[in-house]
Chain A
């Protein structure tokens, strides 16, 4: 079995990777060790890794400071290691991964987009952002589809995007961080960034709406920047959420997250759609482009409205 041994030196700041295709190899401070760790607390030939019939076993070679499982207090002479698990040698964390079934790395936020094949180039990113901006512009300046109320459609779309975003956030968070012991930081950064964008958006919009006079394009930069950021965050979250190990536990975690989001959003949707609340909720967006809308005569409008008088079912 071919293994990758990761050595997290200097308090995990640097990762050194060793790719080893042997059934038995040693870890230590000596130069002839297959996995070399430059740490004074590590003995020259500290431990050995033995692979027997697919089982990885770590044996302490009578080292001074011993070998610890991550989180365990007592040193252990010998124990089994599952690919993906970490252990401590001296003061250094070491993780063993299997090449055949690698545990995917949580991608740092700034690098997430580059990991996606169709978003790795700058113009591809620009295209996605442009697409979102176009959608938004379309919503504001549409003239071609007046009869159907597209504003409701887009309002619904934006709400949906919000739900998807929260869903992936929770999905990724519960699935990866809680259940699967990977990085919290990425999700945290994503969440903070998202909240930041939203607050800038809301505050900025209010400020521009009512304080800058004759600044007709005030809306545009906000729309573009916020949609771009939202889109990137969304893609990042989707990436993080989908590139995880689909173990039984993570699936349970994801189902749990899904239930939380659905029940939360259900209450919200129910409130909005309920007869007692505002029936105009999804039709509140009024773009100025409506002045170009073709319209029917009052008679026709009233004629068409006959269908709203539906008698209650018995």
Chain B
């Protein structure tokens, strides 16, 4: 039954934005003609193929693989670099899984984790044997347009080399990923990207489909390899390390967000912050349905950043949106009915499961902004269970001081400390200006 005040109204469904998504381990079906550098690819494959390993997550009970990725040798002591998201489940549940490598000639052996860098999605692993031959880091990134080669084991189909193009650091990426024009597929995560002399310039990490792929950049890998190694391999110690990394990474992002002056731009009849960081993309849309008796415009900005923590749990995302609503045809009661409906569609924008986070705790109230504007604000936070001190913060506010004009504001900022969450909501609320 619907109580009288929350009947479903005849409201247009929320608009969809043209947005592309980074997909970890997503299916990709497009095949394209190979570029004209087949010889380079062939020689690289022949020369370095035996330095690329398949990384297998083995389920202890069934003895079968639960996940696969790739990795490559970086020194003579048997150290292998891969992605954090390849080994994440092992770190979370070491009793349930074990880690194995398989070489291109079928040799197998166990692996241990030496270190991880969660914000940059890197992991350092070790095999028991020494490795006289290894891949070395390039001195610098190549020129844009240079041919580069990504190696790995897509879909468990065997070692594969993918020629493609280096396209610089991806525009508007908070974590400075390399934009690689080539098809990286699931299973290739953690494999190397090499320049034509066979030196490492990045690590395969994500894809957006259609030949748009992303690599962890060379300098991130270099500083990761220089970091001190983990001494304590208990879950608590690893969680502490990851927490530290996340706190550091959010501190950098937050410092930028909180210290910079936000550009304030007109939207409807109010002024709001638009592109508050170089790495957010903003999209806008207005309704064109003549049957709807109110104007509805939306602007929505998204960092599209997802720091993978474990399957079903990601962090690091910043998303905010504003809805401008105005009516001449609806009575205040009707108009506020429509506003109520709109608020119900707000959800947290990053994924988390019950085992990862606490339930949301919310604070509600009426907050006065500039020029006598009043917003009914709801501000919620949920704490990370494994990474103590970090929270997902969620806010939604609806202006309530006018009968026929309203602004809904919303943001999700995932993985921040209490202090930064509070500062962000304060700055966010203060930046909205009514004319």
Binding site for B on A (CB under 8 A): 136, 139-140, 146-147, 149, 154-155, 158-159, 161-162, 165-166, 198, 201-202, 205-206, 208-210, 213-216, 218-219, 222-223, 226-227, 273-281, 283-288, 290-291, 293-302, 304-312
- Interface stretch, picked from B151-159, B261-269, B326-334, is B326-334
- CB pair B394–A227 under 8 Å, yes or no, is no
B359, CB-defined interface residue at 8 Å: yes
Query: Please, which residues of chain B bring their CB within 8 A of the CB of A159?
Result: 3
User: Which chain B residues (1-44) contact chain A, with CB distance < 8 Å?
Assistant: 1-10
Query: Please, which residues of chain B bring their CB within 8 A of the CB of A293?
Result: 366, 374, 376, 400
B337, CB-defined interface residue at 8 Å: yes
- Interface stretch, picked from B244-252, B271-279, B417-425, is B417-425
B160, CB-defined interface residue at 8 Å: no
A286 in contact with B400 given A276-B353, A293-B366, A308-B381 (CB within 8 Å): yes
- CB pair A280–B346 under 8 Å, yes or no, is yes
Given contacts A214-B331, A275-B382, A283-B378, 10 further A-B contacts (CB under 8 A): A198-B1, A206-B8, A210-B334, A218-B333, A226-B4, A275-B360, A286-B339, A291-B402, A298-B369, A308-B381
Query: Please, which residues of chain B bring their CB within 8 A of the CB of A146?
Result: 366
Binding site for A on B (CB under 8 A): 1-10, 291, 293, 329-341, 343-344, 346-348, 352-354, 357-369, 374, 376-385, 388-389, 391, 394, 396, 398, 400-403, 418, 421-422, 425-426, 429-430
> Which residue of A274, A287, A296, A307 is within 8 Å of B359 (Cβ)?
A274
Q: How far is the CA of A226 from the CA of B2 in the complex (A)?
A: 12
Query: Separation in Å of the A140 CB from the closest CB of chain B?
Result: 8
- CB pair A294–B366 under 8 Å, yes or no, is yes
> Which residue of B10, B336, B385 is within 8 Å of A312 (Cβ)?
B385
18 contacts between A and B (CB under 8 A): A158-B5, A161-B3, A202-B2, A208-B334, A209-B10, A218-B334, A275-B354, A275-B360, A276-B354, A280-B378, A284-B343, A291-B400, A298-B426, A301-B367, A302-B429, A308-B380, A311-B388, A312-B388
Query: Separation in Å of the A131 CB from the closest CB of chain B?
Result: 15
Q: How far is the CA of A178 from the CA of B14 in the complex (A)?
A: 46
- CB pair B380–A279 under 8 Å, yes or no, is yes
Q: How far is the CA of A210 from the CA of B347 in the complex (A)?
A: 26
Q: How far is the CA of A218 from the CA of B8 in the complex (A)?
A: 16
Interface-centre pick from B2, B335, B346, B396 (highest chain A CB count, 10 A): B2
- CB pair B361–A308 under 8 Å, yes or no, is yes
- CB pair A213–B329 under 8 Å, yes or no, is yes
A278 in contact with B346 given A159-B3, A310-B358 (CB within 8 Å): yes
Q: How far is the CA of A293 from the CA of B364 in the complex (A)?
A: 13
- CB pair B331–A216 under 8 Å, yes or no, is yes
| Residue of chain A at shortest CB distance from B373 | A295
Query: Please, which residues of chain B bring their CB within 8 A of the CB of A218?
Result: 331, 333-334
Query: Please, which residues of chain A bring their CB within 8 A of the CB of B381?
Result: 308-309
| Residue of chain B at shortest CB distance from A158 | B3
A304 in contact with B365 given A202-B7, A286-B336 (CB within 8 Å): yes
Query: Please, which residues of chain A bring their CB within 8 A of the CB of B5?
Result: 139-140, 154-155, 158, 285
| Residue of chain A at shortest CB distance from B339 | A286
> Which residue of B331, B359, B362 is within 8 Å of A215 (Cβ)?
B331
Q: How far is the CA of A297 from the CA of B398 in the complex (A)?
A: 15
- CB pair B430–A298 under 8 Å, yes or no, is yes
Query: Please, which residues of chain B bring their CB within 8 A of the CB of A291?
Result: 374, 400-403
| Residue of chain A at shortest CB distance from B293 | A210
Q: How far is the CA of A205 from the CA of B338 in the complex (A)?
A: 12
- CB pair A158–B9 under 8 Å, yes or no, is no
- CB pair A299–B358 under 8 Å, yes or no, is no
